[in-house]
Amino acid sequence: MKNIPALTVSKWIVIVLFALLSSAHAGETEIRKSMQSIFPNIGKLDHIVKTPYAGLYEIVIDGQLLYTDENGQYLVDGSVIDPKSRRNLSDEQRRKLFAINFDKLPLDIAVKKVKGNGKRRMAYFTDPNCGFCKRLEKELARVSDVTLYLFMYPIFPNSGEIVRNVRCAKDPVKAWDDLMLSSIAPASANCETPTEKVLALGKQLHVNGTPNLIFGNGGQSPGYLPAEEIEKNLNDTNK
């Protein structure tokens, strides 16, 4: 077989690369068209990226990471797990995509709790009637040297009144700990609270449930985490 001239080889490489890029773009175009057809009020899709697994594309709709095929005909709501490392690839991607500038959070509307030297930082959205929030508090009792910012986010039925009673207590931190760790309800109290501002903040940040953790580096972790995972995230923040 005759040798192929170098110029010809280069030409074919360019053609192949162009074809691959065109194919990826075609997938993006099909997905955008399909999504806007199926969901007319979906608005602008800023994030459509092909993943390295199973030919899926990741898309973001209303602050939620979802997956779809190259034609945008199916939506997959769930997590992609690496079976070898057991890493939750979806959670890792969510933390990158939805990272928050911690220093721009309105921490003045949160309840501040300092433990130990308070050098590490974590904020979280929580509800007094949320079972996983109570589990989270038990784990946080095992974590020290951290400043916690509690955004009391009453999204469960009858939580608004409890949040008001906690925030209006003489010592809101103690009232919260008594409630969540010892099931001691706070006394009825009335005062002006920033609850509406907290609810607006949660909506802005697409907080769809509680607990929702935000670490000092802006990484988000929707849902409950054990103390060991909290420690790991706090330490990664301070590297």
- Indicate whether 110 and 217 sit together in one domain: yes
Whether residues 141 and 190 share a domain: the answer is yes
Host domain of residue 157: 102-237
How confident is the model over 190-205, as pLDDT tens digits?
A: 999 999 999 999 999 9
The structural domain count of the chain equals 2
Q: Are residues 77 and 135 in the same domain?
A: no
Q: Are residue 113 and residue 78 in the same domain, yes or no? A: no
Of 14 and 2, the one with more pLDDT: 2
Angle at 178 between CA 233 and CA 189, to 5 degrees: 115
Q: Tell me how far CA of residue 98 lies from CA of 15, 156, 190, in angstroms.
A: 36, 24, 35
125-144: pLDDT as tens digits: 999 999 999 999 999 999 99
Q: Are residues 47 and 129 in the same domain?
A: no
What confidence tier does 71 reach under pLDDT thresholds 50, 70, 90?
A: confident
Give the pLDDT score at 16.
36
Q: Give me 52's structure tokens.
A: 């390295």
Share of residues in the chain with pLDDT > 90 (%):
54
117 in the same domain as 223: yes
Q: What is the pLDDT of residues 4-29, one digit of tens each?
A: 444 444 443 333 333 333 444 557 88
Q: Which of 68, 97, 126 is a domain's end point?
A: 97
Instruction: Report the CATH number at residue 184.
Output: 3.40.30.10
* Same domain assignment for residues 215 and 126: yes
Q: Indicate if 69 and 106 belong to the same structural domain.
A: no
Q: 237 Cβ partners below 8 Å, 6+ apart?
A: 120, 121, 215, 216, 217, 219
- Could you tell me the pLDDT band of residue 237, with boundaries at 50, 70 and 90? low
Q: Per-residue pLDDT averaged across 57-63, rounded?
A: 84
Last residue of some domain: 54, 77, 97?
97
Give the pLDDT confidence score for residue 238 in this predicted structure. 56
